[in-house]
Structure 1
Amino acid sequence: MSDSLFSDASKRLQAALKYVSISDDAIEHLKYPKSSLSVSIPVRMDDGSLKVFQGYRVRYDDTRGPAKGGVRYHPNVSLDEVQSLAFWMTFKCAALNLPFGGGKGGITVDPKALSKLELERLSRGYIDAIADFIGPDVDILAPDVYTNAMIMGWMMDQYSIIRRQISPAVVTGKPITMGGSLGRDGATATGAFFVIESIMPKFEQVPQETTVAIQGFGNAGAVLAELLAKAGYKVVAISDSQGGIYAKNGLDIPSIRHYKAAGNGVKAVYCRNSVCNIVEHEVITNQELLALDVDILIPAALENQITEENVNTINAKYIFEAANGPVTSAADRVLEAKGIYVFPDILVNAGGVTVSYFEWVQNRSGLYWTLEEVNQRLKQKIVEESNRIWSISQELAVPMRTAAYIHALNRLGEALNAKGTRDYYINSRVS
């Protein structure tokens, strides 16, 4: 992970600042994370040896409410990456008008190299190390890359043990039986689908005539691929960390999900009752997928996938960022010059944090919603904010990313100004 990831992320603010009227105090406040924590997590491995892992948690801003953000397990996790993700989460929550600030956490680990028992010890050890740094009214955790409902359940349980009270609202994305919300597993993908469905008609683009390529076939990418396929979009290419597949006439996404779930990777093969349907396809690399001539390209993997080095190979008309930070600021400028529309991560993948908010509300109230209620509330929130950001983009003639940051900055500025600014203290007089 580049040491300049946070610096690159911060550049997105500069383009938006010229269009907003917020105080210098607010701008200064948003330059820095509120607090950062680095911890060492000793884990007794199955073979009896002791291994120490590095963990992180960053609260970037909590002006609008307690920090909120996921925990990722990945070999490339660093403090720089976690700080950047917390920064993005701050603006994501503001853009969606959620009463949260931005936080993020992670552990530098290859989770695939650990047994389930080692993974549990690591997850509980992480909570032991950061328990005083988090809480339902302070900083709320959620799943991210290579973490899931089971891991969130371990974390919530460990926090409850430490506090000697059941504390479901400290973690979202938990198993349903531990206070999780219906619809949370697929929320990131469902939210992205609602964004696409609200934006594409503005370009008179109909599903049946729209080709899609998705980089990343994890929880977000796989669910989104299936939602788009069911809606009539032609999903012609997908990939995971090992590579991808392409079929110009479209892929059978449910079959691929079934096959991958069995541990076989993304193969266009599906077997049932000893009958196999082989879908003709080409094997491609992740870079080849990014360069495909498709209508919609969806990066749904990790950061910095479209950079100065490969941006000139991009041929898609529209890019929807289901991953966090997949396009660098330098690549953004090239894409804009090429007339390629980029719909930013702080809008496109905000379904996850939105339903996490719903879960937190349900935990606090003790009243739980049906899946239909969750998806209805999610759609209303996503479509409403998508249209507002689109209107800002059209009114100011700025890219959607800049419009999203303008929208978020206005809300953050109002909250920061409400606490008092230089102008207030200098110009006000006590009568």
Structure 2
Amino acid sequence: MSLLEVTWTDPATQARGYLVIDRLVRGVSSGGLRMRAGCTLDEVRGLARGMTAKEALNYDPAARYVPLGGAKGGIDFDPYDPRAKDVLTAYLHAMSPYVERFWTMGEDLGLRQSTIDEVIAKIGLQSSIQAVYPLLDDEQKARQRLADAFQVTVDGVSLDELVGGYGVAQAALAGIEYLHIHNPTAFVQGFGSMGGATARYLAKAGVTVVGLADVHGVVANPAGLDVEALLLSRDEHGAIDRTRLRPEDRRLERDTWLDVEADVLVPAATSYAINAGNAHRVRAKLVVEAANMPLTEDAEVRALVIPDVVANSATNSWWWWTLFGDIDATAESAFEKIGTNMRRLVDEIIGEPSPREAAKRLAAASVKEIEQRFPRP
């Protein structure tokens, strides 16, 4: 059972919002806030459990950063609606007592960190992660270090929008090596911060990205898309600028995203994108879960699956490694730490009969060790 579940209704739009705190460690939890039409309490509950595992998997007894508990927030509202920022403001105002003391949060599906930061300042809070400040040895230095990291850009894209996808790409490359896939191809569903960075770093590693999907449809080219040009011209919601496509690039309908042939499939958009009804269409040898919970429990695919709690954990960990001082506020330090840690995690689960179950066992063992070190009051 979750430690805390809160349901909220916006009086102006009747939008529903949820907060689930699955676990506290040293009195604090961690997990992003998403906004999408159709978001449910069950979805947020599952995401919060996933965050507990995601935090625990990155536990290093020798590090300054000690994983926090897991939490998640969700708002059932269309992020493209012109009233979306007002709904977000009302939600965060209602949840502000939890943000102040128990819940550190950041962007997730449908929201940008810059928008969250703007609203947080508007309602009078210090930061979306202020609940963790009492755990810092030197709050001023730690906050400056994270602020410096958020100012870093790499080839035109801010570092905070790259670290998660860089980790996913490293997980995918480990899977490609394990399966001995030669001249690998990849399809990425979703082109926001997670999907966009994944596509960039797969392409940089020599993987041919043959297809991308956004909210408007699919673009594909069996010879490979110009990922960098599309990445640098996407809009704030991760929509691809179709005017940047080349004559040989194809435009396809949204529901064809599982039909583009590729060795690696990276679902990097919504939860439950692959289910019992469409799992038979997955032809990839490797599925890397960049999104949270992109496969339903009843979705049976024949591919090797690297689960979300491992593959997309780098965004969360990068914040804390930087804040607590385990890495410097540079891209080089971030990418080195993420690459090393991701390869270690994938190596520990990839040879098991079920990598997902192996990840759950590793997370449970880490949770137990953390609880022994920091017993609940």
Shorter-chain TM-score bucket reads: 0.7 to 0.9
Given the alignment, which residue of 80, 85, 89 partners 1:124? 89
The Cα of 1:167 is off from its aligned counterpart by 4.7
In structure 2, the partner of 1:39 is 8
In structure 2, the partner of 1:142 is 106
Q: Per the alignment, do residues 65 and 249 of structure 1 end up closer, same or farther by CA in structure 2, a change over 3 Å counting? A: farther
SS at match of 1:279: coil
In structure 1, the partner of 2:173 is 197
Equivalent positions of 1:293-308 (< 5 A) are: 293-308=261-276
The answer (yes or no) to whether the contact 1:152–1:171 under 8 Å persists in 2 is: no
The alignment status of 1:111 with 2:50, answered yes or no, reads no
Given the alignment, which residue of 257, 274, 295 partners 1:289? 257
Q: Per the alignment, do residues 180 and 33 of structure 1 end up closer, same or farther by CA in structure 2, a change over 3 Å counting? A: farther
Between the aligned residues of both structures, percent identity stands at 23
The answer (yes or no) to whether the contact 1:58–1:103 under 8 Å persists in 2 is: yes
In structure 1, the partner of 2:324 is 361
- C-alpha distance in 2, partners of 1:343/1:254? 25
Q: Which string of whole-angstrom CA distances, capped at 9 and with x for unpartnered residues, describes residues 339-362 of structure 1?
A: x21110111111111112234426
The Cα of 1:263 is off from its aligned counterpart by 8.8
- C-alpha distance in 2, partners of 1:211/1:171? 42
User: Could you tell me which amino acid in structure 2 is paired with residue 39 of structure 1?
Assistant: W
Q: Which string of whole-angstrom CA distances, capped at 9 and with x for unpartnered residues, describes residues 131-184 of structure 1?
A: 222336x2201100121122221244256x25xxx4564289x99996764422
> If each structure's helix is expressed as a fraction of its own residues, which one has the higher value?
1
Q: Per the alignment, do residues 141 and 175 of structure 1 end up closer, same or farther by CA in structure 2, a change over 3 Å counting? A: farther
Q: Say what the alpha-carbon RMSD is for the aligned residues.
A: 3.1
Q: Which string of whole-angstrom CA distances, capped at 9 and with x for unpartnered residues, describes residues 255-288 of structure 1?
A: 2234433999435542xxxxxx723133323442
User: Could you tell me which amino acid in structure 1 is paired with residue 8 of structure 2?
Assistant: V
In structure 2, the partner of 1:351 is 314
User: Could you tell me which amino acid in structure 1 is paired with residue 348 of structure 2?
Assistant: R
- C-alpha distance in 2, partners of 1:314/1:359? 37
The Cα of 1:320 is off from its aligned counterpart by 0.5
In structure 1, the partner of 2:138 is none
The answer (yes or no) to whether the contact 1:215–1:290 under 8 Å persists in 2 is: no
Equivalent positions of 1:28-427 (< 5 A) are: 32-42=1-11, 50-63=12-25, 66-97=28-59, 99-114=67-82, 119=85, 121-135=86-100, 138-158=102-122, 161=124, 166-167=126-127, 169-170=129-130, 181=150, 182=152, 183-206=159-182, 209-261=183-235, 265-266=239-240, 269-270=243-244, 278-331=246-299, 334-335=300-301, 338=302, 340-361=303-324, 369-390=329-350, 394=351, 397-416=352-371
Q: Per the alignment, do residues 264 and 381 of structure 1 end up closer, same or farther by CA in structure 2, a change over 3 Å counting? A: closer
The answer (yes or no) to whether the contact 2:215–2:239 under 8 Å persists in 1 is: no
The answer (yes or no) to whether the contact 1:61–1:67 under 8 Å persists in 2 is: yes
Please identify, of 70-79 and 195-204, the stretch whose mean Cα deviation from structure 2 is larger.
195-204
The Cα of 1:187 is off from its aligned counterpart by 1.7
Q: Per the alignment, do residues 78 and 352 of structure 1 end up closer, same or farther by CA in structure 2, a change over 3 Å counting? A: same
The Cα of 1:203 is off from its aligned counterpart by 2.5
**Alignment length (residue pairs):** 353
Please identify, of 256-265 and 234-243, the stretch whose mean Cα deviation from structure 2 is larger.
256-265
User: Could you tell me which amino acid in structure 1 is paired with residue 53 of structure 2?
Assistant: F
- C-alpha distance in 2, partners of 1:221/1:52? 31
SS at match of 1:142: coil
The Cα of 1:128 is off from its aligned counterpart by 1.9
The Cα of 1:407 is off from its aligned counterpart by 0.8
The Cα of 1:312 is off from its aligned counterpart by 1.5
- C-alpha distance in 1, partners of 2:317/2:146? 20
Q: Per the alignment, do residues 175 and 295 of structure 1 end up closer, same or farther by CA in structure 2, a change over 3 Å counting? A: farther
- C-alpha distance in 1, partners of 2:144/2:70? 23
The Cα of 1:188 is off from its aligned counterpart by 1.3
Q: Per the alignment, do residues 360 and 41 of structure 1 end up closer, same or farther by CA in structure 2, a change over 3 Å counting? A: farther
TM-score with structure 1 setting the length: 0.73
Q: Per the alignment, do residues 326 and 416 of structure 1 end up closer, same or farther by CA in structure 2, a change over 3 Å counting? A: same
Consecutive unaligned residues of structure 2, counting only runs of 5 or more, are 60-65, 133-142, 153-158
The answer (yes or no) to whether the contact 1:238–1:244 under 8 Å persists in 2 is: yes
- C-alpha distance in 2, partners of 1:140/1:106? 14
- C-alpha distance in 2, partners of 1:132/1:221? 32
- C-alpha distance in 1, partners of 2:338/2:131? 19
Q: Per the alignment, do residues 89 and 177 of structure 1 end up closer, same or farther by CA in structure 2, a change over 3 Å counting? A: closer
- C-alpha distance in 2, partners of 1:179/1:128? 27
The Cα of 1:228 is off from its aligned counterpart by 1.2
